[in-house]
Chain A
Amino acid sequence: MANLSHDPAHQSFDAADPHSAEHGHGGSTRTYVMVALALVFLTACSYWTYTPFWPFGDNLAIKRTWMMAVSCTKAMLVILFFMHLKWEANWKWVLTVPASMMSLLLVLALVPDVGRRMRGASRERMTHAAELSAPAAAGKSGTALHPAEHPAGEKH
């Protein structure tokens, strides 16, 4: 059985080992500073949507798309440069891709039951959740709840 702590192959990854320079990877200090400046600039780009200088008016779809694009760009910069994934070997995909896929699936799994829970609900259901709506009382479509189901009112 190989002794892991004294194995030469393992020790070659020790940062104190001069051979680690072969595995050492990363950019120059200048690169890191440029990335940091880009991140601050991109933060200002997100904040731009909030200022009067934003040229696309109050269209929320454009604002949100822009902000998410900026956030994803910032995230990629942090992951690639600060977390050194740009210079890592292919093992990076083994750890990051499955976790990212699971995260995406988790969010998507919440959409039908939680994200779309109000879709198709009557206005009464949305504004008077503790009251019996007229359509519901008349036996028509609508999902307003009976008062007995929510006797404690709306708080929490």
Chain B
Amino acid sequence: MSDHSHSAHPPKLEYQPALPIPNGKLCLWLFLSTEIMFFAGLIGAYIVLRFGAPAWPSTHDVHLVELMGAINTAVLIGSSITVVLALEAAKQNNASLAKSWIVLTLVLGSVFLGVKAFEYRAKFSHGIYPGLPHSGIYESANVNYAAAVRLRVAELKNPLAAQEKRTEEEDAKIQVLDSIAAELDVAEKTLRDNPESPEGRVLLLRLADRIYPRASVHALQDGNMHDEREHLKIEDDQDPLEEEIEKAASAGTPLLTLASAETSHADAGHLIGLNDQYPWLKLPIMIPGGNTWASTYFLVTGFHAIHVIVGLIAFGLLCTQTLNAAYSGVIENVGLYWHFVDLVWIFLFPLLYLF
């Protein structure tokens, strides 16, 4: 055996790749397969939490604008086609055209992020955050909510009341705070004196509705909304008490006005409450299911936005290179990643905005 190995030449080995694609592309696809599972976990969590929740806010309750989501979808689809065209141009060794398409992709991706930031701002300006300490969301108008409102009113009023000389504006602020405190007093007293009666809860709900009116409670007249009252789905127990309370609360809303063109476009079609009328108030708000919604919404869209940012960095790096045929493999890999980001948004858009 040893003689044979000395006398004969070793066999010439030929490399056979396991898959008929370049290593870079294979790695990218392996990465994408892990990404599929990553986003499936996030989207799956959103789906099961949402459809298993006793209450879930409507899109207009949480200042989501469907049209902006649709526009963002179109922008992302536009950026996908520009990547494909960049790849085609690079394959034909047309570096300048390829770079132009990549720059356009970069611009469209930035537009997507800009619209997303605009949408986030609409949530933050209404106290909708994914968690403490900024989140002002309470799940129901109960005694805990009343205590939080009282605490905030005291926080605002005490420094003003301590001043010896006050401006007219400060006096007006105190008046607003006093009116809220008075309404709160009546509600809490009613609740304490007659805890079995729904009257106290109606008063608290009415106050919560004045602070932050929800579109799902007030049936908007424009008629182009989904069924907003999708909550408390219980089959065997049709206790009408909750609906009566909500109807009573919505009937007496003093500030039921549609947002006008003066407000930001991100708020179009939403109702104006005390927090909108007096932005300095920043009172706690009541949105049934709002905390879970905020957690899942910001988690899913936040991770998607991080992926968009990574893609934009990759496109930014590509812009510094000469995108000839030698770079078509890199463009293809970055493009695959970008199409996956587009793919995720294709499912997020209907789930978050239209369902």
Which residue numbers of A lie inside 8 Å of B, CB to CB? 1-4, 7, 9-10, 13-16, 23-24, 26, 29, 32-33, 35-36, 39-40, 43-44, 46-47, 49-52, 58, 60, 63-64, 67-68, 70-71, 74-75, 78-79, 82-84, 88-89, 91, 94-96, 98-100, 102-104, 106-107, 110-111, 114-119, 121-123, 126-128, 130, 153-156
Residue of B nearest to A79 (CB): B343
B contact residues around A155 at 8 Å (CB):
137-139, 144, 148, 291
> Given contacts A15-B332, A107-B40, are A10 and B33 in contact (CB under 8 A)?
no
CB–CB A75/B40 < 8 A = no
CB–CB B40/A78 < 8 A = no
Question: Does B226 interact with chain A (Cβ within 8 Å)?
Answer: yes
Question: Does B15 interact with chain A (Cβ within 8 Å)?
Answer: yes
Among B303-355, those with CB < 8 Å from A are 325-329, 332, 335-336, 339-340, 342-343, 346-347, 349-350, 354-355
Among B145-159, those with CB < 8 Å from A are 148
Which residue numbers of B lie inside 8 Å of A, CB to CB? 13-17, 19-23, 29-30, 32-34, 36-37, 40-41, 43-45, 47-49, 51-55, 66-67, 70, 73-74, 77-78, 80-81, 83-85, 88, 91, 131-132, 135, 137-140, 142, 144, 148, 223-227, 230, 232, 234, 237, 239, 242, 291, 325-329, 332, 335-336, 339-340, 342-343, 346-347, 349-350, 354-355
For the residues of B in contact with A, the DSSP-based class is helix
A contact residues around B48 at 8 Å (CB):
107, 110-111, 114-115
> Given contacts A13-B20, A123-B232, are A70 and B85 in contact (CB under 8 A)?
no
> Given contacts A1-B13, A106-B41, A155-B139, are A71 and B54 in contact (CB under 8 A)?
no
A contact residues around B328 at 8 Å (CB):
15-16
B contact residues around A52 at 8 Å (CB):
223-224
A74 to B66, CA, bound (A): 18
Residue of A nearest to B148 (CB): A155
Taking the closest CB of chain B, its distance from the CB of A111, in whole angstroms, is 6
CB–CB B227/A60 < 8 A = yes
CB–CB A46/B70 < 8 A = yes
Task: List 24 interface pairs A-B (beta carbons < 8 Å), by A numbering.
Answer: A9-B14, A13-B20, A16-B325, A23-B20, A26-B88, A32-B85, A36-B77, A43-B74, A46-B350, A47-B354, A51-B224, A64-B355, A67-B355, A78-B339, A79-B339, A83-B336, A103-B41, A106-B40, A115-B51, A117-B52, A121-B234, A127-B242, A156-B135, A156-B291
Pick the 6 closest A-B CB pairs, nearest first.
A103-B40, A107-B44, A153-B144, A115-B48, A15-B329, A99-B33
A contact residues around B224 at 8 Å (CB):
50-52
